[in-house]
Structure 1
Amino acid sequence: MDRPSAAGGRAPARAEPSPSRTLPRSRTVTVRLDRRALRGWHIRLLDQLGQRPDHRIRVAWVDHAGGLPPNAELLFRLEATIHGLPRPGLATAAEPVALASYEASPAGEELRSSGAQDLVLDLSSAPAEPGSAPAWRLDYDGMPGEAGLLAALFAHGAPVAALRGPDGKPVALGRLGAESHTVMLAAFEGYLARTITLILAALDGAASTELPDGAGAPLQPATAYDLGGLGARRRAAGGLARQIARRLYALCFHGPHWRVGWRRIVGPDLIDLRRHPEGGWQVLPDDGRRFYADPFAIARDGAVTLFVEEFDYRRGKGVIAAVGFGETGPRGRPEPVLELETHLSYPFVFEADGQVWMIPESHASGTIDLYRATDFPRGWVHEAVLLDGVVAGDATLLQHGGRWWMFATVRAGGGSYSDTLHLWHAPHFRGPWTPHRHNPVLIDIGSARAAGPIVARDGGLIRPVQDCREGYGAALGLARILRLDEEAYAQRVETRLRPGAAWPGTRLHMLSAAGGFEFIDGSHRARTRLLG
C-alpha cells in the first residue's frame, strides 16, 4: 500500500548531489575489505558493481582484528534457528575465495591515488592510515562500519547511514528503517540491503547528502576512533559485546524452545482425527542446553527408532540423533548418530532394497545427499549425491506410479526457503533424478514445504505441509495430492492444525508415525540453559 509522506502527502524535495562529489562515469573502484570479516552483503555489492560496464572493480584485502564481536555470530545463528530465518544471508560470514573472480589490488597499491577517475571504497573495520588514498567510508549515527550499525540497532533508533568522503562530509546520506527490531538478524540484514542501495546511488551521483526533514547535521565519526584510538575502539567493542550477551541470555534462557511430542496411537491417528487427540502429547525430555526437532520414526525388526535434529545451543549447530522407543516410551535420551561440518536437520529415513537410508537436510552444502546405515541406527556412510548445485530444504521421497518422486523447497536467487516447491522423478531412489518440466510446481508459503513423510490413506496420498504464513513452522497442514505425474502436480490443503490446549506453545511443525507411535514437534517459550 502506498503511504503519504510525512509532509502531508507531498514527498519532500531531495537535495541535489553536490557537483564536486559526482564521480566521472568511467572509473576504477577499489573496494577495501577485511579478510577476516567478509560477509554476504559484500559479495552481493561486488556482484552488482561488477555488472556495470563503466566500472572496473578491484578488491584490496586488509587483516584487521575488528568488525563485530565474536558473540554476534552466535546471536545470528540462534535467531535464525529460533525464527526460521534463511541462511546464508547478507550477514553470514563468507570466505575470501568467494571474490576470487575479482581483480586483487597488490598490497599497498590502493594507497596511491592514480587520478580523479579512481575511488577507494573502504568497507573494512581498519582505521585510516596516514598517507592512504582518499576513500569513502561508512558509518551509522557516526559509529563506523557494521559494529556501528549493530550498536545503533541495539539503541532502538532509526540510524542515519552516511557514506563520507575524505573530508568527512557525506557523499550519501539516508535514514534507514526496519519492520521490527525484535529479531536483530532480520533488522541487521534489512539495513545491510539498504546500505547497498545507498552505495550504488552514491556511485551514480544520485544520492542525497541531506536529510529531507530538516533534522540537524548528521553525526561525525568519533575522532579518536577514526584516527585509530585503541582505547576508544576497545570500549566501543566491549559495550556492543555486552549488549549482545544480554540478548543471548534473553533468547537462550527465556526464549522459544523447540520440543518433540509423542503418543501411543490408540484409535484414529492425527490424519484421521484432523485435530489433537484427547489425551494430548508427552514431551521428549531435554536438558535445556539443546532442543530436539524434526522427528522421523521408522519401525524395523519389531522396534521403533526415532530420529531427530539435535541442536546444541553452545555449539550453534544441528546434528542427527536417534533414540529407541519401547512400550512405555523412549529408552533413554537421543544420542548423536550423524554429524558433519555443516548444520543437519530433517532426517528423512526410509527402508528400500532391504536397507535403511537417510536424506538429511544440509542446504549449506548445495547438495541433496543419500546416506546408508551400516550399523543401524548409529553407523552411516555417505552413499551418493542425488542432486548437486541446489539449495533445497526438507527433501522427501515417495514411490508412486512406478517411479520415485522427490519433493523439496528450493531457494534460488534469495527469498524464502519455504515457499517454492520443486519435484524430481527417477526410476530408482538413487537416481538419475529428472526435474519436473513445470518446476516450480507450487509457490505457496502456506503449503509448499514438507512437514514429514507422505502417507497413503483410503486410496489417496496425504502430504503433511508446513503452513508458514504466520512464521516458520507456525502450523501444520494436511494436503491431499490430487495429481502427481510427469505432466502436472496438484494438491489441496484440507486441514490446518495449530498449537492448543493439547499442545501448548507457539508452533506446530512436523508429523511422523511408525510402529504404533505418532510424533509432532513445535516450540514454546521456556527457560533454557545455554551455559550452565
Structure 2
Amino acid sequence: MSEGQFDPYLDGQLSVDLVLDLAGDADDELPTWHVTFDGRAGEDALIAALLSGRPPVVRVVDLAAGRILAVGRPGTENPGVSVAAFEDVLAGCTQLVHAALDGGAVIDLEAGESAQVRRGVALRHAGRSVARAAIRRVYQLLYRAPHWRVGWRHVDGPDVVDLGALPSAGWQELEDDGRHFYADPFPIAVGGATYLFLEDFEHRLGKGVISVVEFDRDGPKGIPWPVLEHSAHLSYPFVLEDEGEFWMIPETSGAGTLELYRSTAFPSGWVREEVLLEGMEVSDATPFRHGGRWWLSATVRHGGSYSDALHLWSADRLRGPWRAHVRNPVLVDIAAARPGGRVVHRDGRLIRPVQDGRQGYGAALALAEITRLDDDEFEQRVVARLTPGEGWTGNRLHTLNRANWLEVIDGSAYSPRYRYLAWPGRR
C-alpha cells in the first residue's frame, strides 16, 4: 500500500468478525483462525510436505481459544507435479474452512513430521521430476498407459476383509487383449450363476463402457461383452438387487450426473431409470443399507482432487429422492475418503474399502470401519492398509469386492504397444 492510501480496515471504517491466516503472520489481537500444514503455518510448510512426497495434514485452528475447528488431508492425483499438487491441496483447504464455518465434526489425523524447504531437497525434487517426465514419455511410447487388470480367486474361508491383508497366493488374472483393459470389478451372484461387471476401457477411443462376463469355479466363461454405453466415460459399475429388480449405478462423472439403471433382461438390457444427482462430479458412488434406510457414499470434486472429499446422502428408497448429509463433506482425506468397493456388513460392523491415494491415484487400498453414521455425524477409523505384494505384484491396488465364492481386486499392469492377442470373437 502506497503512502497516504486509505485502508478502511486500519482506519476503523469496517468491522472485522474474523481473520483467516494462511501465512502465519496475522495480528492475533483480532479474532483469527490459522491454517496449518503438519502443524506449521505458511505456504512454505505446504510446499515442504509436497517436496517430501506426502500430502500434509491440514488443520483450521483457533489458537486463542485452543480449539481445532476442522482437520483433513487434501490431496492430489498428481503428487509428482508440484504446481498441480499445490493447487489441488489449496482447493481442499477451502473445503476445510467451509467445514469450520459450518461447525463440522473434527476427525483428527496423525500428521507427518513438519518439514522445511531446503535447497537440496528442492533441487533433488526438481531432478526427480525431470527424470520422471522423461521416463514417463519413454514408457508411453512403449506401453499403453494406464493399463489396469482384474484379479480373482476362490474364497472358501476368510476373505480380505476378515484377514485385514491381501493373501499372497491364489490370485488369477482376467486376461485382456492389450488394447482393452479391465478395472472396477463388481461380482453378483444370481441363482446358481455368478456374473462379473467391470469397466472395459479401449485405449484407442480413450473411453470406457460397462461389460460383463459369467464365472464358474474354473474361471470366466468367455470374454467380457458390453452391456452399457454412454456419451460419457463409464466406470465403477455398482450392481445390486433390490425390490425384485437388478440395478446399476455406474460412474458418469464426465456428464455431471449420477444415474440409476434398471435391467430389463439381466445381465443386459440396461435402461436409465432415474438421475439421482446432477450438476456435480461424483466419483465411485457406493450405496448401502444402514439403520433401516439407504445411504450413498461418494467423493465429489470441488476444483481440486477427485478423491479426497467424501459426501453422504440418505434415502428411503434406492430410487431416491436422496438427501445430502448436513456435514458434507463429512471427511476430507486423500488416504481414506474415496470408496473402493461395496460396504461390508461383518459381525455387526460396517467395513468400507477405501482408496489410499497419498502416493497417487489408485496406489493402495485401506479398510475403514464406520463407527458412527446418522443424520448429524459420520465417523470412521482405518483398521487395515492393503498394498500389492508377492501374490499380486505391481504398484497399484484399487478395488475390492466379493460375491458368493468369487473375490476380486484390480491393479496396474504392463501393456506393450506391440502386444496383441487375436481372440476369436473379440470385437
TM-score between both structures, scaled by the size of structure 1 = 0.54
2:199 to 290, 300, 309: 309
State the 1:527 CA deviation.
2.2
Distance change in 2, residues 1:401/1:526 (3 Å): same
What residue number does 1:401 align with? 291
Q: How does 1:118-267 map to 2 (within 5 A)?
A: 180-181=129-130, 248-252=140-144, 255-267=145-157
| Match status 1:422 vs 2:314 | no
Say whether the 8 Å CA contact 1:359–1:369 is kept in structure 2.
yes
Identity of matched residues, %:
55
What residue number does 2:32 align with? none
Measured in 2, the distance between the counterparts of 1:2 and 1:302 equals 59
What residue number does 1:506 align with? 395
State the 1:273 CA deviation.
1.3
2:282 to 378, 386, 392: 392
2:404 to 497, 512, 515: 515
State the 1:347 CA deviation.
0.4
State the 1:250 CA deviation.
2.7
What residue number does 1:380 align with? 270
Decide which structure has the larger Cα Rg and report it: 1
SS of 1:469's equivalent?
A: coil
State the 1:266 CA deviation.
2.4
| Match status 1:439 vs 2:331 | no
Q: How many residues end up aligned between the 2 structures?
A: 303
State the 1:526 CA deviation.
4.0
Say whether the 8 Å CA contact 2:168–2:390 is kept in structure 1.
no
- Aligned residue type for 1:250: L
What residue number does 1:486 align with? 375
Say whether the 8 Å CA contact 1:289–1:529 is kept in structure 2.
no
- Aligned residue type for 1:409: T
Q: How does 1:57-68 map to 2 (within 5 A)?
A: none
What residue number does 2:343 align with? 454
TM-score between both structures, scaled by the size of structure 2 = 0.67
Deviations 1:72-129 (A, max 9, x none): xxxxxxxx99x9xxx9xx9xxxxxxxxxxxxxxxxxxxxxxxxxxxxxxxxxxxxxxx
SS of 2:274's equivalent?
A: strand
Deviations 1:161-192 (A, max 9, x none): xxxxxxxxxxxxxxxx99835777xx9xxxxx
Kindly indicate which of the two structures has a greater share of residues assigned to helix: 1
SS of 1:341's equivalent?
A: coil
What residue number does 1:223 align with? none
SS of 2:142's equivalent?
A: helix
Distance change in 2, residues 1:178/1:360 (3 Å): farther
Say whether the 8 Å CA contact 1:410–1:420 is kept in structure 2.
yes
State the 1:375 CA deviation.
1.0
| Match status 1:325 vs 2:274 | no
Say whether the 8 Å CA contact 1:368–1:387 is kept in structure 2.
yes
Please provide the CA RMSD for this pair: 2.7
- Aligned residue type for 1:308: L
Q: Which runs of 4+ in 1 moved over 6 A?
A: 244-247
Say whether the 8 Å CA contact 2:198–2:212 is kept in structure 1.
yes
Q: Which has the higher contact order (CA 8 A, sep 6+)?
A: 2
What residue number does 1:339 align with? 229
SS of 2:254's equivalent?
A: helix
Measured in 2, the distance between the counterparts of 1:261 and 1:271 equals 16
State the 1:327 CA deviation.
1.8
Measured in 2, the distance between the counterparts of 1:403 and 1:373 equals 22
State the 1:338 CA deviation.
0.5
State the 1:385 CA deviation.
0.3
Measured in 2, the distance between the counterparts of 1:293 and 1:302 equals 24
Distance change in 2, residues 1:504/1:246 (3 Å): closer
Deviations 1:216-266 (A, max 9, x none): xxxxxxxxxxxxxxxxxxxxxxxxxxxx997742342xx552100000002
SS of 2:184's equivalent?
A: strand
Distance change in 2, residues 1:493/1:245 (3 Å): closer
State the 1:296 CA deviation.
0.4
SS of 2:205's equivalent?
A: coil
SS of 1:525's equivalent?
A: coil
- Aligned residue type for 2:344: V
- Aligned residue type for 2:238: F
Say whether the 8 Å CA contact 1:367–1:390 is kept in structure 2.
yes
What residue number does 1:474 align with? 363
